[in-house]
Structure 1
């Protein structure tokens, strides 16, 4: 018999608690159990006046963002609309069913008046990392680094062209010193220091001058930000560096790497893609006794011409040998740190392979070799070692998965905010929420998979019988997994 739902239940009055409306396995319960956000009160206490009307709870302001980024809600306006009709979100904030939710502009006003210029969002991000570390998930041996672009809140047509000074490379002083040493060893005069200030023209947005233009494919151009991000084997985001979108990954990497190196001392392997495969980066990693995992990089040679690896370098005689067994002798070392090896034009003029070798008018072939080329060669040796493919293959399961989830599930594909500081604070919250979500799911899954651990964190504080309490601790210890519980408003974390 076909059933027919009675509509009277729509206006029926029921007596129930908000807690009973939230499923026991809902994500907001997991988030609430894994971290106590009361530490925020200490972080912001100096930002509030001791007199006047009572403000909205600062923890609630942060939780509004946690809901937005965890569940991938597009804007704060839409987040407030979702909270108004969602019992689980109200439960997480501590708001009753009839209690009025703060206006969507509340967080923006508090950001401008209190949070702007502070490091509160950075502290929240690293506080979450500390909780993850206590649970044994902050592994450091393998770190994966990559970059992704975030579309800026800027009209591509509202732009202007300005002339700016070219930035000096971070390793410029070391490079110049080694260039002159190399020239001295080849009986060449040292290069004079270039005092000329180089400039270049760049396109900037009038809406958001901090972003940069990014070529998305062959024809499309957009204004964007670039986020270079590091994660571990669990996909936990360890740190990131955000810059304008017109910078290359290899120029941003050293800034992020220096922070990673200082924070995570036990790190051994650094897995990065071919965009980071430069002599300077290889040197930076190897000089710190770490192992760079770099892939094969296809030579950027015209079709039909000999690849660079077909010219063999003779280290003893310091020369190159071409495919026709002719010698290319050392000529000079230029300002960019490349040694130039040139062939004899008379040998090349009558060579049958000249059309596959060079297009120069004087038939002279020039092969360049960076003075730090040995570091790239060491990376190539590492690439052929046992276990490289397995370790490097984890990139697609870690950092690339992080970017995919961030853009598809957490709203990182483009930003509504303008200015480098605001975008960076947004990423601190977004990546912090991703870490928090991952921590909550991992711990919940471990409890769920245990046969007898049906008593959750908050149940432990209600156990008055010592024997029962002892039995539950024994179950936790035998499970060999981390657990978190609250007891008398203090948080204890034990990792077995």
Structure 2
């Protein structure tokens, strides 16, 4: 039976923040340059039907999109009068907590899968483990893994029912038993996958290059938004709003 972890004690941690001398609001980004450059992120919500920009919000380059999406959706709901029923997101928004919040709000989310780097044996990946019961999994070689513990990083760990069963296994590293981990959000991941692979999800994700991606492309190529012309997040926000207004007027 899976046990609930006790509340974790709070502790102060020193965090290193790299700031720009020219623009203290900008943060280091390695998305487009391996060496890194100080930049901002433009988070947009675009209408798929008519390609109107409904919301544009600027943050530092270190702020992920899934942390502010619900706030921006509420902003659009307050401005337009209703919230979207469906939303298509790229892999940068692939987050279980965000998916749960969207479910509670009654919004169908179609999120692109984020492909994580794996160093597992190619013939024994996690996707090839078969679930036998609620607390028992079986690996491709027939070894049963039972529930062992839950970690604070958000995973349930499963180990072989008989200790030493992985000795000599081609997928095991060394003489130790393998540990199979399942996310505590596995149920929401399964629903996200089902929605993404549905017919509706395939259609909506196929039009992303002509909607939100085109909106960013026009801003960069036609309106000079590839580089900011001001310093400070407030000044850059004004530049983003003016650019979005011009693009909407052109419709």
What is the TM-score with the length of structure 2 in the denominator?
0.88
**How far apart in 2 are the matches of 1:434 and 1:408?**
12
The change in CA–CA distance for 1:312 and 1:256 in structure 2 (over 3 A counts) is farther
| Cα separation, 2, equivalents of 1:342 and 1:378 | 26
Is the 2:28–2:62 Cα contact (8 Å) retained in structure 1? Answer: yes
> Would the aligned equivalents of 1:270 and 1:291 in 2 still touch at CA under 8 Å?
yes
| Equivalent residue number for residue 350 of structure 1 | 168
Tell me the number of residue pairs that the alignment of Structure 1 and Structure 2 aligns.
247
Residues 260 and 349 of structure 1: CA distance in aligned 2, closer, same or farther (over 3 Å): farther
- 1:436 counterpart = 2:249: yes
Aligned positions of 1:395-474 closer than 5 A: 395-438=208-251
* Structure with the higher helix share, 1 or 2: 1
Match of 1:388 in 2: 201
- Alpha-carbon contact 1:345-1:363 (below 8 Å) kept: no
1:213 Cα offset (Å): 0.4
Where do 1:72-221 residues align within 5 Å? 186=2, 188=3, 190-217=5-32, 219-221=34-36
TM-score, length of structure 1 as denominator length:
0.46
- Paired with 2:196 and 2:147, the residues of 1 have a C-alpha distance of 29
The unaligned stretches of length 5 or more in structure 1 are 1-184, 439-496
Whether the 8 Å contact between 1:241 and 1:252 is mirrored in structure 2 is no
The 1:326–1:243 alpha-carbon spacing in structure 2 relative to 1, beyond 3 Å, is same
Q: Note the C-alpha offset of 1:252.
A: 3.6
2:44 to 216, 226, 229: 229
Measure, in 2, the Cα distance between the counterparts of 1:368 and 1:235. Answer: 41
- 1:406 Cα shift? 0.3
Distance 1:401 1:216 in 2: 19
**Tell me, which stretches of 5 or more residues in structure 2 are unaligned?**
none
Structure 2: distance between partners of 1:219 and 1:393: 29
Distance 1:280 1:228, change over 3 A: same
Deviations 1:460-480 (A, max 9, x none): xxxxxxxxxxxxxxxxxxxxx
Determine whether 1:379 maps to 2:192. Answer: yes
Distance 1:418 1:362, change over 3 A: farther
Once the two structures are TM-superposed, the CA of residue 262 in structure 1 deviates from its matched residue by 5.0
**CA-to-aligned-CA distance 1:57-79 (integer Å, 9 cap, x gap):** xxxxxxxxxxxxxxxxxxxxxxx
Distance 1:418 1:287 in 2: 38
Q: Aligned residue for 2:119?
A: 302
- Paired residues of 1:322 and 1:328 also in contact (CA < 8 A): yes
Match of 2:134 in 1: 317
- Residue 277 in 1 paired to residue 94 in 2? yes
* 2:157 counterpart SS class: strand
Matched, 1:259 2:75: yes
User: What is the root-mean-square deviation in Å for CA atoms of aligned residues?
Assistant: 2.2
